A and B are shown apart, each in its own frame.
Chain A
């Protein structure tokens, strides 16, 4: 009789451990999914800010091709000091203090928006110049970086590096 009770205890213990393990696995799986979505969104936002920075820098090359070339010829290392979102009030990315920031709320304030982050041009280098009779082009190497501050003290960083060829007198761009 005592032996039979022993077996019952083992069975009950085994059953309880199995259920506990099963619950732990489920809980762990859901927690990691929750974190994964947060990370994906933060990383995605950092990626688009980095692309925004790259477009900002290329735009400057388009608008000021001759001036940029002249700056490098004169020995410049940081000819574009203002490709930095924090330096432009209209571009700055500061999160609203309210939790319910929404485009569906009439008259929503865009000076403070839904995200908190920044982008900047980390480096620009003149890599090559073509001074042909019919084609005058300069090749630049651009490096940008974006940082996004997510919820729960998470920070996401993304960087992009790209080579650009710009016509020195027309500003036409080739990637």
Chain B
């Protein structure tokens, strides 16, 4: 009730031009408000930048998962060949494997994975997301040639075998049965900038060992 009375009085007073806010007072209040909102604006601006930073990181993680799943569970062991970047080539030239590689590799590496000749591809490329951020993707494959296989048989003791005692040579002339796969995805936080040209670029890595389990 008291407040209602005050408002009524205030309106009444304003109507007669006796009280109210002067232009200077309004300007001062605007200045105070601006001073208050400036750090808020700055904070929100940095929050938006952070959100984009997390977005590119999330896209990179998602792409890394897709690539590693394809490498570990879909692409045959024999078609992933050693190198930095790794090479994709089926030594048996099975048409179905070639079709698989042709459909998977653009989704894995974007562009630039084409090898020196038909049927040969590189684990290297430039991938662009929907917002225009660029990602460099590279896969290194290392043949693990000196891994020992030990078995402990009670009464007979431990027996160790080298790979050459257990498996014939592969298409590259090695007795390899395990490969180390190292994936790097590098990105720039600036849209449209190649991460290799950006000194502030960020990267993630995933590593796995693929064993020879092809049929």
Contact = CB atoms under 8 A, between A and B. Distances in A.
Nearest to A32: B54
A23 B37 CA distance: 12
A37 B203 contact: no
A104 B138 contact: yes
A67 B210 contact: no
Chain A interface bracket (under 10, 10 to 19, 20 to 34, 35 or more): 35 or more
B72 A3 contact: no
Contact of B36 (A4, A19, A90, A172): A19
B209 A3 contact: no
B65 A62 contact: no
A28 B155 CA distance: 61
A40 B208 contact: no
Contacts of B92: none
A27 B40 CA distance: 12
Contact of B58 (A37, A45, A88, A114): A37
B151 A80 contact: yes
B154 A90 contact: no
B195 to A, nearest CB: 9
B205 interface: yes
B142 A110 contact: yes
- The SS class assigned to the B binding surface is mixed
A78 interface: yes
A110 B61 contact: no
A76 B140 contact: no
B209 A56 contact: yes
A4 B62 CA distance: 57
A102 interface: yes
A27 B50 CA distance: 10
A2 B182 CA distance: 72
A59 B211 contact: yes
Given A48-B72, A114-B205, A76 B43 contact: no
B213 to A, nearest CB: 6
A123 B53 CA distance: 42
B158 A44 contact: no
A44 B64 contact: yes
A11 to B, nearest CB: 12
B126 interface: no
A81 B160 CA distance: 11
Contact of A67 (B43, B58, B85, B159): B159
A76 B180 contact: no
7 contacts: A48-B68, A51-B208, A56-B211, A60-B149, A64-B149, A102-B203, A103-B184
The 3 closest A-B pairs by CB, nearest first: A114-B205, A52-B209, A55-B211
